[in-house]
């Protein structure tokens, strides 16, 4: 869970009839839901915001120390992390060459290691498994942006993304280990389960993705599916409390922006405004993809 992007064709059409559009984006609401309500049993297990920019020189030791001072109240533990990319190239004679590249970058974490900031040569990323509210993440983002600008200003902004991963778990019913997900999730996400049942087959899971295009470079992707165990693991770099393994329904919402023409400057206020705009549809999309039963019996049940 360290990289953003849809990896799918943005022409994918929307699902079902529960969505309405205004100026190319999701709008309107049919639920009576307080948009500021924080569910006691919210299913968010991982949230991240990434600001991608043209590649620049890695931070030197002096810059790392300076940025550490900026974020130390929230993220007091400095460290390093690495990413490895593998590039495979084929030659005309049929031979295949593989090149592996490793990039090490500074990373700061909270004392419980559930929130982290990574500053890579081409991006700034905040991720947390302790999401409480958007305002808390926004405050950290503002601090991180100020620090990044103070030590070295990137040449521009190429992408901004907010990503939420939900693990929806429900109580077992009638001794059945496989939930009737259509009772808890919009039935359009469950897939052709009945077709398999009619053929004597037991559904084990499903996996889907849909992308909504918006205006002014905005888009939103929803990945979804039933599975077992965990959508997000606990690691040494980013920890999360793990419930007992079992069936879950994954909702993975990626709300993002990319410039449609020129690359704008790396400006804190502009980035925060765009992040606010990207955050607005996330809650409504989530609410439209769940049922009232899930809302009342699980999410509001502390």
Alpha-carbon span 162 to 277, nearest angstrom: 10
List pLDDT tens digits, range 244-283.
Answer: 999 999 999 999 999 988 999 999 999 999 999 999 999 9
Element (H, E) at 63: helix 61-71
Q: Look at residue 151 in the predicted model and tell me its pLDDT.
A: 97
Q: Look at residue 19 in the predicted model and tell me its pLDDT.
A: 31
What are the helix (H) ranges across 171-240? 193-198
Residue 118: which of 98, 140, 135 has the closest Cα? 140
For residue 157, name the pLDDT band (cuts at 50, 70, 90): very high
pTM of the model: 0.84
Q: Which of 29-43, 69-83, 121-135 has the lowest average pLDDT?
A: 29-43
Residue 3 pLDDT more than 60?
no
For residue 77, name the pLDDT band (cuts at 50, 70, 90): very high
Per DSSP, 5 falls in state -
* Number of Cβ within a 10 Å radius of residue 119: 22
Orientation angle between helical segments 134-151 and 61-71, nearest 10 degrees: 150
Contact between residue 232 and residue 165 where contact means Cβ atoms under 8 Å apart = yes
Element (H, E) at 284: helix 268-289
Q: Look at residue 78 in the predicted model and tell me its pLDDT.
A: 97
For residue 147, name the pLDDT band (cuts at 50, 70, 90): very high
Alpha-carbon span 124 to 192, nearest angstrom: 40
List pLDDT tens digits, range 185-222.
Answer: 999 998 776 666 667 776 666 789 999 998 899 999 99
């Amino acid at each position: 869970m360290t990289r953003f992007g849809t990896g799918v064709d943005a022409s994918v059409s929307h699902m079902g009839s529960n969505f309405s559009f205004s100026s190319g984006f999701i709008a309107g609401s049919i639920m009576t839901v307080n948009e500021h309500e924080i569910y006691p049993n919210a299913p968010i297990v991982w949230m991240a915001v990434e600001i991608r920019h043209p590649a620049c020189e890695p931070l030197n030791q002096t810059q790392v120390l300076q940025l550490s001072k900026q974020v130390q109240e929230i993220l007091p533990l400095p460290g390093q992390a690495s990413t490895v990319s593998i590039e495979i190239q084929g030659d005309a004679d049929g031979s295949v060459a593989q090149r592996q590249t490793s990039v090490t970058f500074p990373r700061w974490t909270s004392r419980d290691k559930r929130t982290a900031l990574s500053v890579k040569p081409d991006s700034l990323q905040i991720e947390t498994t302790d999401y409480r509210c958007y305002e808390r993440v926004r405050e950290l983002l503002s601090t991180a942006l100020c620090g990044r600008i103070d030590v070295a200003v990137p040449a521009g902004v190429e992408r901004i993304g907010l990503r939420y991963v939900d693990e929806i778990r429900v109580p077992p019913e009638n001794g059945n280990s496989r939930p009737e997900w259509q009772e808890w999730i919009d039935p359009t996400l469950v897939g052709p389960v009945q077709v398999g049942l009619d053929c004597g087959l037991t559904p084990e899971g499903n996996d889907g993705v849909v992308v909504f295009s918006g205006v002014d470079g905005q888009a939103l992707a929803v990945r979804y599916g039933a599975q077992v165990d965990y959508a997000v693991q606990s690691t040494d770099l980013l920890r999360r409390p793990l419930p007992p393994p079992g069936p879950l329904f994954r909702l993975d919402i990626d709300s993002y922006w990319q410039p449609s023409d020129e690359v704008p400057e790396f400006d804190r206020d502009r980035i925060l405004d765009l992040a606010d705009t990207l955050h607005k549809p996330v809650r409504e999309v989530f609410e439209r993809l769940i049922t009232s039963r899930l809302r009342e019996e699980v999410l509001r049940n502390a």
